[in-house]
Amino acid sequence: MTQASSQKPGARAPRFLKLKPLKPAGAVRIIGGQWKRTPLPVLDRPGLRPTPARVRETLFNWLGQDLQGWHCVDAFAGSGALGFEAASRGAQAVLMVELDRGLVQQLQAFKTRLQAPHIRVEQGDGTAALRRCAPGSQHLVLLDPPFANPAQEPVLQAARDALADTGFIYLEAPTPWSDARLAPLGLWVYRQAQAGMVHFHLLKKALLATEPIIG
């Protein structure tokens, strides 16, 4: 695993920071790895919120820059900004799941352009796709679900079941998640930040006595 996963469970750095408000983005670029600076087109879709460059930069600073050997699921892929970023940084396998047929076609076309056989694009429901994953098989689960659907517990539970013990869940949400709220799901907040109205989190399984288990 990378720098983030090699830290001792009890050594917890400050977990919350606040970034400047976000500006709407008409297009995004991959910011790191083998496809750095490659432009990623963004279709005009209601509610589509490509994760901005500075948020992705923060995320991969938390994770470390090298994802060699990782298995990842981008469960609500949208523009694919998160999944392509993970693949660019060396992830061994990336599953990108999206309901919108037009977005799926664009994801597939971009994958073909990059000549990236380690990326698999699937049309369907992200929660259902996570439930089909073998337990403990994923090193990184990327969750950027529609904010119009506040019921995030089912997808978080499915993500936790699919997650390796040393893995991470990345979650974007309209409100912050606390350790107390996550405890019934067997998760805790490893890192947390805010950019404008978006709260983004890096979560881990609650496995050891040194990790927070509240309630």
pLDDT at 50: 82
Report residue 186 as tokens.
């067997």
CATH class of 56-205: alpha beta
CA distance 153 to 130: 13
Question: Would you call 134 helix, strand, or coil by DSSP?
Answer: coil
Are 200 and 194 in contact by the 8 Å Cβ rule? The answer is yes
DSSP state of 160: H
Q: Report pLDDT for 123.
A: 97
Supply the pTM of this predicted model: 0.84
In whole angstroms, how large is the CA radius of gyration of the chain?
16
CA distance from start to end of the chain: 30
Question: Letter for the amino acid at 123?
Answer: Q
Over residues 117-132, the pLDDT tens digits come to: 999 999 999 999 999 9
Q: What is the pLDDT of residue 17?
A: 61
Closest CA to 77 of 104, 105, 41, 112: 104
Question: Cα separation of 77 and 91, whole Å?
Answer: 16
How many Å apart are CA 53 and CA 29, to the nearest integer?
A: 7
Query: What is the pLDDT at residue 208?
Result: 62
- The segments of the chain whose pLDDT lies below 50 read 1-11, 20-25, 209-210, 213-215
CA separation for the pair 189, 34 (Å, rounded): 30
Can you give the pLDDT at residue 132?
97
Q: What is the pLDDT of residue 90?
A: 96
